[in-house]
Structure 1
Amino acid sequence: MLKVVGLGRSTYYYSLSVEGKEKKKPPGGKPKGYSIDKDNNKICDEQIKEFIMESIEGDAINYGYRKITYHLRKYYNLIINHKKVYRLCKELGILKDQRVIKPTVKRTIAVNRIITGSNQLWEMDIKYGYIQGEDKFFYILNLIDIFDRSIIDYHMGLHCEAKDAAALLRKCLIRRNLFEEGAKKPVIRTDNGPQFVSHKFSQCCEEIKIAHERIPVKTPNKNAHVESFHRILEDECLKINEFQTYAEAYETVNEFMEFYNNRRLHSSLRFMSPNEFYNLHFGENLTNIKIKV
């Protein structure tokens, strides 16, 4: 019969052996977007990138991706392999051979200041939230005025890049009527996250003529006000809600931001809300309130 139809025996018997069997999925797949630490907490990839940037700004300045892997395991308690560290380093453009030829962004170290009014010093940083129902992280980039404690504006999304940080900075200047030529701009202070050390963010600061300073490695106290807000956000919003969808997370965070700015009382603001305090003392330098940073 096979000779009549002109079909090879091997082809016929092979078709019988695979008939009805499901094709196996190829190995690999889309990265999860997070790793686990030794306490079984999920740490998102963007946070790990910040750890990597901190490492190469400090003790791991001359390390390749394999040594960075051991550095992350030892000092950040991450359970992570060298393949993932290689991928993240490649995304950041900091593989060792590239570090020598890659042009660096000029770094201005945060200096000690005494703040006596609004719009003198702003701090910016990222907070990560987790969506249980979709098994993925979302990002909240917040910008706070350290004097009146207002979250002037924020970016929330499933990604957070340098372009998002630049757009947020422009929006905040517009909200405070400081975008026009000749307006006295505040100083913007950040950590050493990849969004803030990028050329895109640096170029934005130069274009709008705003001074950008970065805190030294492993000194979160230099960014204390935005870090304090993130603790409030974690305790009063993110920790007590188990989100099933991104839409649910967005609505909850938006409601909390409105509550924080307009109704939550601060003892450091004479028991007023941030927006109430800002509107009451708009344009004033309060010599009896001095914040040292």
Structure 2
Amino acid sequence: MVTSYQKEQCLTFVQEVFPKLSYAKTCKLVSCSRTNKYYKKVMPEKDVVVKEAISSVIGTSRLGRRKVIVKVQKKYPGIGAAKIRRVYEKEGFSLYKRMKKRRIDNPANPIEVPLAANVEWAMDFMSDSLASGKKFRTLNIVDQYNRKCLEIGINYSLPSRKVIEILERTIIEHGKPLGIRTDNGPEFTSCLFQIWLDKNDIEWIKIQKGKPQQNAIVERFNRTYREDILDANLFFSLDHVYEVTQPWKEDYNQERPHESLNYCTPNEYAA
């Protein structure tokens, strides 16, 4: 929403840039009344004091209404909050509010367990920190048929290019899936990743925004990986993360029974 004060500023700017444009057309362009040209504001003398108080408190900083009221009342205890708020909004001290963009949501995409391997993979990111405080990310890839952990990519940063490299290595080892289920992260919505999916004839199965339960299998895997590895260890380098993760991954696929697989391991269930 544009305030009248902002419209007046736009009106002045357009008149300066396009002096040949008539005043009536300029007002129509910015949806402003023509009477503004002839109306002269008469500020009450009591508001002058409040305006000067607000200006002295704000200075060159950006402060919201509540902070301004507190600071002004500390300096001038006799000025009421309602008066400060009125002058603050009337004289254009208000901070600009960015309008929220309307985001179109995806249709519901409930999870389905496939009847064969490499029909649908699920992917998701996780993050943690080294002992030095530097953050790293992991890309977890799970086959939804037998809950097998196909790959855990580890790096400081995992943009679309890195995601594609990890997927290509995984496809060489395990074969190509018909579809990949992910959330709506920027790594998956990027043009580079979408072009790669089309080129390899892989369907992108995107879940609804804010509905992680539609990617429940990899989310459940994330919890196990978090409890057993990320929360249970103090890492000093990416190599250390990899050294701890790889044996756990083999144990997860070959030794760990899964209740959802009738207490079989992922490898036993696939066999």
TM over 0.5: yes
Aligned position for 1:189: 181
Q: CA deviation at 1:145?
A: 0.8
Q: Which amino acid is the alignment partner of residue 119 of structure 2?
A: Q
229, 234, 253: which is aligned to 1:261? 253
Q: Higher Cα Rg: structure 1 or 2?
A: 2
Q: Distance in 1 between matches of 2:235 and 2:263?
A: 31
Structure 1 vs Structure 2 CA RMSD: 2.6
Matched with 2:198 is 206
Aligned residues: 172
- 2:249 is the alignment partner of 1:221: no
The 5-angstrom pairing of residues 72-111 of structure 1 reads 109=107, 111=109
Task: Report deviation, 1:110.
Answer: 6.0
| Structure 1 Cα separation of the partners of residues 265 and 138 of structure 2 | 21
- The answer (yes or no) to whether the contact 2:106–2:206 under 8 Å persists in 1 is yes
Runs of 4+ in 1 over 4 A off after TM superposition: 107-110
Q: Could you give the per-residue CA deviations for residues 91-112 of structure 1, whole angstroms, max 9, x where no partner exists?
A: xxxxx9xx9xxxxxxx975634
1:249 maps to 241
1:152 maps to 150
Q: Structure 2 CA distance, aligned partners of 1:202 and 1:174?
A: 20
CA deviation vs aligned residue, 1:19-38 (integer Å, no higher than 9, x gap): xxxxxxxxxxxxxxxxxxxx
Identity %: 28
- Pairing 1:131–2:130 present: yes
Q: Map 1:65-76 to 2 at 5 A.
A: none
- Equivalence map 1:270-285=2 (5 Å): 270-278=262-270, 280=271
Unmatched 5+ stretches in structure 2: 1-97
Contact kept in structure 2, 1:109 and 1:214, CA below 8 Å:
no
TM-score in terms of structure 2 length: 0.58
Deviation per CA, 1:17-67: give whole Å up to 9, x if none. Answer: xxxxxxxxxxxxxxxxxxxxxxxxxxxxxxxxxxxxxxxxxxxxxxxxxxx
Q: Summarize the Cα distance change of 1:168–1:110 in structure 2 as closer, same or farther, 3 Å threshold.
A: farther
**Cα gap change, 1:247 to 1:171, in 2 (>3 Å):** closer
Q: Which runs of 5+ in 1 are unaligned?
A: 1-95, 100-106, 179-184, 281-293
TM-score for both structures, normalised by structure 1: 0.54
Residue 161 of structure 2 aligns with which residue? 163
SS in 1 for 2:187: coil
Secondary structure at 1:138's aligned position in 2?
strand
Contact kept, 8 Å, 1:110 with 1:213, in 2: the verdict is: no
Higher relative contact order (CA 8 A, sep 6+): 1
Structure with greater helix share of residues:
2
Q: Report what 1:87 is aligned to.
A: none
